[in-house]
Amino acid sequence: MKYQRILLKLSGEALMGNQTHGIDPELIDSYAKEIKKVFHQNIEIAIVIGGGNIFRGVSGASKGMDRVQADYMGMLATVINGLALQSALENNDVPTRLQTAIKIEAIAEPFIKRKATRHLEKGRVVIFGSGTGNPYFTTDSAAVLRAIEINADVILKGTRVDGIYTEDPEKNITATKFDNLSFEEVLKRGIKVMDTTAFTLSQENNLPIIVFDMNTPDNLYNVVKGKKIGTRVDL
């Protein structure tokens, strides 16, 4: 396998399936099964999930809600998604720990870098909830931050499309897909697959990002094997 320790970033919206909100139990179970395939290759797996299927802080703030309060609500939404994914993984016999940047000790461990690393070394999947624990930072930025902290080899961003395009392929069928991009090109083109802070942080720490379609069976497994799937962003 090409990578030994990965950080998988999933959007909250991805968990909705064809629903308008919430969590699709069948879809999250299918994600757990895809993760299990990689887990059985003795790959160390950490995961960050967004919360947009439940509540998005930016949209709450745009409707007059206090931005800080709205962002904390979004962080709690990521914990709900983390609990759901933890349950799905454990139902598939994959040992999992949920750590959160905001202390919620009744349901999750607080994030401690050394403890997270030890869980990974012992063969447990670690889910990081509540983003960075700070308002104004997205879960994309949280994913990059956690990946750097645990010394992950790569960030794998699982989406509904099979990579980065010149335009949104769901809106424009003539959009062209990129196989490789540099961080500079992403920032110059203003590509919004991840926010600017996340890309800049990855660039500064020479941490590659691969954007791929999580909904295609075996894609995650094949990406970890090193097959050319999706779009790779690096120096």
| CATH label of the domain that carries residue 72 | 3.40.1160.10
pLDDT, tens only, 45-80 = 999 999 999 998 777 777 888 999 999 999 999 999
Q: Are 81 and 16 in contact (CB under 8 A)?
A: no
Residue 163: per-residue pLDDT:
94
Question: In which domain, by residue range, is 10 found?
Answer: 5-234
Q: Cα 191 vs. chain centroid, distance in angstroms?
A: 17
pLDDT, tens only, 103-133 = 999 999 999 999 999 999 999 999 999 999 9
Residue 38, SS3?
A: helix
| pTM exceeds 0.85 | yes
Residue type at 87 in one-letter notation: S
Q: How many structural domains does the chain have?
A: 1
pLDDT, tens only, 80-105 = 999 999 999 999 999 999 999 999 99
